[in-house]
Amino acid sequence: MSILSPSFKFHSFSCQTPKPIVKKSYSMDFQFILTLSFIAFTLMVFKYKARTRRLPPGPWKLPIIGNLHQLGDSSHKSIQRLSQQYGPMMFLQLGAVPTLVISSADAAMAIFKGPGGGYDLAFSGRPTNLYVAKKLSYEYNGITFAPYGELWREMRKIAVAELLSSKRVQSFRTIREEEVAAMLNHIDIASSSSAPVNLKKLSLLLANHVVCRVTFGKKYGGGGDGGTNRFDRVLHEVQHLVGEFVVSDYFPWMWWVNKLNGMETRVEKNFEELDKLYDEVIADHVAPTRTKANHEDIVDVLLRLQKDARQLITLNNQQIKGVLTDMFIAGTDTTASSLVWTFTELIRNPPSMEKVKYEVRKVGNGRDKIEESDIPKLHCLHSVIKETLRLHPPAPLLVPRETTEDCVVGDYEIPAKTRVIINAKSIGTDPKYWENPHDFQPDRFMKSSVDFKGQHLEFLPFGVGRRGCPGMSFAIMLLQLMVANFLYRFDWELPEGMSVEDVDMEEELGITVFKKTPLCLVPIRVV
């Protein structure tokens, strides 16, 4: 039976009581017609309001689904193609969700640096009907997916001042250096047999170990069951679920589809496993028999703040768990994908590879490894990583925002509760600001002041304004150390029989975009 065509029983073949049944049929007919009339009237009102608003231009939309059919498999590429036709500030109707798409630096400037300081505040909301994000963030109790408000403001202050401050990030230096050194030793084994290594697996494992030690105080993962364990599986499923298409995110009244297609079962199972793991971690940290660590990990800090009466909010365990989920969603896949894309671009551009190798080896000067104190001297390395993030931002569409109030941007009226998509990939390849925008040219950053912090709106790999990524410094420091040491210790070659032309650039779908075909390279030790 079609869900769009409700079936009603209007007739009866009983000979004993015809009149009451006919009366009931007329009553049902009338109610059905009245309902349809109300729906039609409501749609006409919304359509009239939409027409009277000066919305940004956008493509023609189909009934019910709107423009969803035009997104295709790769949303950021589809949106970029549509923006080239309809403009850098474009309006889409994605199912029941009105959506504004920002695809150029100038459009971003109109919003975030417009008259009176721009509309950053009005564009700082988050959608509150994202099924997976709501569940895995403990009802929006973290930072990344939380709606704008007093709770979010205080949680972000905690993140900036306590969890991811420059001092705190620096305190994790030993962890980063130890884990990078351990990975170099692991690659040494492959190098001795000239075996290719899968850079995605290596970088995910390394990032996971660093984030686990920083957050929990010890490593999870890399166990004896084929290189994975319980935590690895849970975390992998979290990342996968957050990036999936969920019908109810675009049609809220179709929540029941999550039951039919198995999404609800998957999310509930993953949440239960994740929650149990967090409970064990917290119990371990509050146990009186626990040996006090030399440095606080993230859970230590959160539990300390939970007892601090000076805090404007009293953290509960749900909020602590929400922050932990943020740490892993933002801290593992993003770093790993950036490393893979960096080496993909370098292997396809040998002159750039040789130039950055020369720099790191000159600075290393025969020592066993590159240390964090060396990183500020590696200007070519910085340029390579910036250029990679320009072409391959980890989350090309960033995390969606939502307007908190009606506002006027330029010639357009943007209604409250409009979902906002910022296409960082499109902005990073805006030809107005970037010469040969699709070419990998790290030298363009050598004499440029453009950085990651969101002040230069032509380059937004970590977002902009209030909703910019608070973990940017942590992610960049780890990425730079990983790339520098991989290049310092080893030369990298394609497996026998492969040429540069064989390295494809197809992307894997998800909130974080990896290279679809794993990048496998042969390491050759040189230091």
Residues 130-169: pLDDT tens digits? 999 999 999 999 999 999 999 999 999 999 999 999 999 9
Determine the Cα–Cα distance for residues 84 and 96; give it in Å rounded to an integer. Answer: 24
Question: What residues form the annotated binding site for heme?
Answer: 469
Choice between 272 and 293, residue whose per-residue pLDDT is larger: 272
What pLDDT does 259 receive? 96
Residue 512 lies in a domain: yes
Q: Which residues have a Cβ under 8 Å from the Cβ of 144 and sit 6 or more positions away?
A: 137, 326, 329, 330, 399
Determine the Cα–Cα distance for residues 325 and 235; give it in Å rounded to an integer. Answer: 9
Q: How many CB atoms lie within 10 A of CB 91?
A: 23
- Tokens 């995605």, residue? 200
* pTM attached to this predicted model: 0.88
Question: What residues form the annotated binding site?
Answer: 469
Residue 225 lies in a domain: yes
Residue 461 lies in a domain: yes
Cβ atoms of 422 and 102 closer than 8 Å: yes
Instruction: State what percent of residues in the chain have pLDDT above 90.
Output: 79
Determine the Cα–Cα distance for residues 281 and 273; give it in Å rounded to an integer. Answer: 13
Structure tokens at 53: 């608003």
Asked if pLDDT for residue 22 goes beyond 90, the answer is no
Helix intervals (H) in 243-297: 257-260, 263-286
Query: In this structure, which long-range contacts are made by residues 406-415, counting pairs with CB atoms below 8 Å and at least 24 apart in sequence?
Result: 407/119, 407/122, 409/89, 409/110, 409/111, 409/114, 409/119, 410/89, 410/110, 410/114, 411/54, 412/54, 412/55, 412/56, 412/89, 413/53, 413/54, 413/55, 414/55, 414/56, 414/100, 415/53, 415/98
Q: Which residues is 86 bridged to in the sheet?
A: none
What average pLDDT does this structure show over 206-216? 95
What pLDDT does 41 receive? 53
Residue 119 lies in a domain: no
Structure tokens at 509: 């779908």
Asked if pLDDT for residue 38 goes beyond 80, the answer is no
What pLDDT does 100 receive? 98
Element (H, E) at 359: helix 350-364
Determine the Cα–Cα distance for residues 419 and 103; give it in Å rounded to an integer. Answer: 14
Burial status of residue 424 (CB atoms within 10 A of its CB: 0-12, 13-18, 19 or more)? buried
Burial status of residue 422 (CB atoms within 10 A of its CB: 0-12, 13-18, 19 or more)? buried
What pLDDT does 232 receive? 82
List of E strands, 170-232: 197-198
Asked if pLDDT for residue 256 goes beyond 80, the answer is yes
Q: Which of 205-219, 220-234, 273-287, 483-497 has the lowest mean pLDDT?
A: 220-234
What is the per-residue DSSP string for 115-174? GGG-STTTT-B--S--HHHHHHTTTT-SSSSPPSSHHHHHHHHHIIIIIS-HHHHHHTHH
What pLDDT does 31 receive? 54
User: What are the pLDDT digits (tens) for 288-297?
Assistant: 888 877 789 9
What pLDDT does 453 receive? 85
Element (H, E) at 452: none
Residue 19 lies in a domain: no
Asked if pLDDT for residue 399 goes beyond 70, the answer is yes
C-alpha of 131 from chain center: 15
104 closest CA partner among 432, 453, 336: 432
258 closest CA partner among 274, 272, 275, 241: 241
CA dihedral 36, 39, 42, 44 (to 10 degrees): -60
C-alpha of 396 from chain center: 8
User: What are the pLDDT digits (tens) for 317-366?
Assistant: 999 999 999 998 888 999 999 999 999 999 999 999 999 999 999 999 99
Could you tell me the CATH number of the domain that includes residue 275?
A: 1.10.630.10
Residue 193 lies in a domain: yes
- In Å, what is the CA distance from 474 to each residue of 157, 171, 176, 331, 334? 16, 11, 10, 8, 11
Determine the Cα–Cα distance for residues 445 and 456; give it in Å rounded to an integer. Answer: 13
- In Å, what is the CA distance from 382 to each residue of 172, 323, 337, 436, 484? 21, 29, 17, 20, 10
User: What are the pLDDT digits (tens) for 278-287?
Assistant: 999 999 999 9
Asked if pLDDT for residue 518 goes beyond 80, the answer is yes
Banded model confidence at residue 118, pLDDT cuts 50, 70, 90: confident
What average pLDDT does this structure show over 57-82? 93
Determine the Cα–Cα distance for residues 314 and 305; give it in Å rounded to an integer. Answer: 8
- Output phi, psi for 324, to 5 deg: -60, -40
Helix intervals (H) in 53-122: 75-86, 105-112
3-state secondary structure of 113: coil
User: What are the pLDDT digits (tens) for 444-457?
Assistant: 999 899 998 888 99
3-state secondary structure of 251: coil
What average pLDDT does this structure show over 266-278? 96
What pLDDT does 235 receive? 87
Q: Which residues have a Cβ under 8 Å from the Cβ of 133 and sit 6 or more positions away?
A: 140, 145, 242
Determine the Cα–Cα distance for residues 99 and 91; give it in Å rounded to an integer. Answer: 6
Cβ atoms of 436 and 460 closer than 8 Å: no
Q: What's the structural domain count of the chain?
A: 1
Residue 263 lies in a domain: yes
Residue 179 lies in a domain: yes
What pLDDT does 293 receive? 76
What pLDDT does 272 receive? 97
Determine the Cα–Cα distance for residues 325 and 234; give it in Å rounded to an integer. Answer: 11
C-alpha of 103 from chain center: 17
What pLDDT does 219 receive? 83
Q: What share of the chain is helix, strand, coil (3-state, %, to 5)?
A: 55, 10, 40
Range of 224's domain? 136-392+431-525
